[in-house]
């Protein structure tokens, strides 16, 4: 009797959630289908058709229904892969993923990558996720390349979405927002939401337009004093134009210093990506000072910035004080021979540093040799290590041979 009552309550909750989606997201398309699946409903019921637990939609897509674990005859490799996902509790609709409708409402994955839902879709998503029926359901939200801000012209939709996440989706652990032209205004709204989203482990804001103002807002929000219970492990900020205004170096310096200061003492941060932000040479010094002693940092990515030989020296000194650091990305940075020599010394002195990406970094052959010699005692696969430094088979072989003979 008790199990029957629990089952009835579950059915009633799923029905309420389906109605919430139908009420708040009237348009058809990827967003509607995904939310209906999250709610345990049938995405094909958009024209008033009776819901059948999602089976009709799964059959239409050639995917296994809850009653069948194998794809239908002649479905092909794509549906076979979908069948494997379904057996693990995940179904796929194009690039949109949501957990199988038969599962509980928690531990949900909502993948809208490449969906181009635009500001209207962002508002609809905010309304749906704010409903009592869907509150607390999301663990993973991928809104990569969704034009949430309408090519930077409309920030109100993003602000509404971030407020909804902060108010109703406090269990969120992965938030992927790359490629949405998010500018300073929506980044401030996200910064205000972050203290309420303390369970986030991965935050991807790559390929937006945060610039200096957005970086400062994030730095303030991520400071341990503002967000003491943050679980953030990966912060991806590549291609945001943080240092793009070279005529105003002061604000850029403040933004970099603020980020380094806020993240240097972060207890869980493992990956920091600031690649291709147009950061000036002084930024490496600020990062080196701010991140020194970082308790968990494993991977620091500064590819495509103006890290010169002096900046490499500052980062080398930092690496020696961060025992967890294993990888330093400096691809396309003008570190030259002196910088390579300093980094080679850092490899020898650092307890864990084993990978330094210096491809396209104008490092002369002698610098590559020094780095190969430093790597040799830790990694006998010298050919592989030298290939990463040089990018060409001939140069790698030469560096490896010379390193082996001089080690």
pLDDT in tens, 24-54: 554 445 565 666 655 554 444 433 333 333 3
- What's the whole-number mean pLDDT along residues 79-83? 35
Work out the number of other CB atoms within 10 angstroms of the CB of residue 59. 15
Whether the per-residue pLDDT at 172 is higher than 90: the answer is yes
Alpha-carbon torsion angle 141, 147, 151, 157, nearest 10: -60
Give the whole-number percent of the chain exceeding pLDDT 90. 35
Question: Does residue 208 surpass a pLDDT of 90?
Answer: yes
- Name the residue with higher pLDDT: 234 or 354: 234
The CA distance from 12 to 271, in Å, is 43
Rounded distance between C-alpha atoms, residue 240 and residue 216, angstroms: 12
Is the whole-model pTM more than 0.85?
no
Residue 334: CB atoms within 10 A of its CB come to 18
Instruction: Categorize the per-residue pLDDT at 97 as very low, low, confident or very high, splitting at 50, 70 and 90.
Output: very low
pLDDT at residue 115, rounded to an integer: 83
On the 0-12 / 13-18 / 19+ scale of CB atoms within 10 A, 377 is exposed
pLDDT classification of 337: cutoffs 50, 70, 90: confident
pLDDT digits (tens, 9 = 90+) for 144-171: 998 888 665 678 999 999 999 999 999 9
Has residue 135 got a pLDDT over 50? yes
CA geometry: angle 398, 403, 407, nearest 5 deg: 160
How far apart, in whole angstroms, are the C-alpha atoms of residue 163 and residue 130? Answer: 9
**pLDDT at site 376:** 65
Among 62-71, 203-212, 231-240, 304-313, name the one with the lowest average pLDDT. 62-71
Burial (CB count within 10 angstroms: exposed 0-12, middle 13-18, buried 19+), residue 302? buried
pLDDT (mean) for 277-300? 92
How much is the mean pLDDT over the chain?
73
At residue 361, the pLDDT reads 83
Is 222's pLDDT higher than 70? yes
When comparing pLDDT for 120 and 79, which is higher?
120
Write down the number of H helices and E strands in the chain: 15, 11
Query: Band of the pLDDT at 103, cuts 50, 70, 90?
Result: very low
Contact by Cβ (8 Å): 31, 125: yes
Q: Are 210 and 241 in contact (CB under 8 A)?
A: yes
pLDDT value at 107 more than 90: no
Higher pLDDT, 182 or 102: 182
């Amino acid at each position: 009797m008790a199990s029957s009552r629990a089952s009835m309550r579950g059915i009633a909750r799923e029905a309420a959630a389906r109605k919430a989606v139908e009420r708040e997201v009237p348009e058809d398309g990827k967003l509607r289908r995904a939310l209906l699946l999250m709610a345990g409903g049938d995405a094909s019921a958009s024209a008033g058709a009776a819901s059948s637990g999602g089976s009709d939609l799964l059959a239409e897509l050639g995917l296994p229904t809850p009653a069948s674990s194998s794809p239908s005859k002649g479905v092909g490799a794509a549906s076979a892969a979908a069948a494997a996902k379904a057996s693990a509790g995940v179904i796929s609709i194009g690039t949109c993923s949501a957990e199988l409708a038969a599962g509980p409402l928690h531990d949900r994955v909502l993948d809208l990558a490449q969906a181009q839902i635009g500001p209207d879709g962002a508002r609809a998503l905010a309304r749906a996720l704010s409903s009592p029926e869907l509150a607390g359901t999301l663990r993973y939200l991928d809104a990569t390349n969704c034009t949430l801000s309408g090519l930077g012209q409309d920030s109100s939709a993003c602000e509404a979405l971030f407020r909804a996440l902060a108010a109703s989706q406090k269990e969120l652990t992965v938030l992927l927002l790359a490629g949405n032209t998010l500018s300073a205004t929506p980044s401030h709204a996200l910064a205000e939401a972050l203290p309420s989203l303390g369970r986030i482990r991965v935050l991807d804001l790559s390929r937006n337009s945060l610039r200096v103002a957005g970086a400062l807002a994030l730095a303030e929000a991520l400071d341990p004093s503002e967000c003491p219970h943050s679980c953030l492990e990966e912060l991806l900020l590549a291609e945001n134009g943080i240092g793009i205004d070279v005529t105003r170096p002061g604000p850029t310096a403040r933004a970099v210093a603020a980020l380094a200061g806020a993240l240097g003492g972060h207890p869980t941060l493992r990956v920091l990506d600031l690649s291709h932000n147009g950061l000036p040479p002084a930024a490496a010094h600020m990062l080196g000072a701010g991140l020194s002693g970082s308790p968990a940092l494993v991977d620091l990515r500064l590819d495509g910035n103006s890290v010169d030989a002096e900046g490499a020296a500052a980062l080398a000194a930092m690496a020696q004080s961060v025992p967890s650091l294993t990888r330093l990305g400096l691809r396309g940075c003008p570190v030259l021979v002196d910088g390579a020599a300093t980094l080679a010394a850092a490899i020898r002195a650092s307890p864990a540093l084993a990978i330094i990406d210096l491809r396209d970094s104008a490092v002369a052959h002698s610098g590559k040799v020094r780095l190969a010699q430093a790597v040799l005692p830790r990694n006998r696969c010298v050919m592989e290590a030298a290939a990463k430094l040089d990018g060409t088979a001939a140069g790698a072989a030469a560096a490896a041979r010379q390193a082996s003979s001089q080690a």
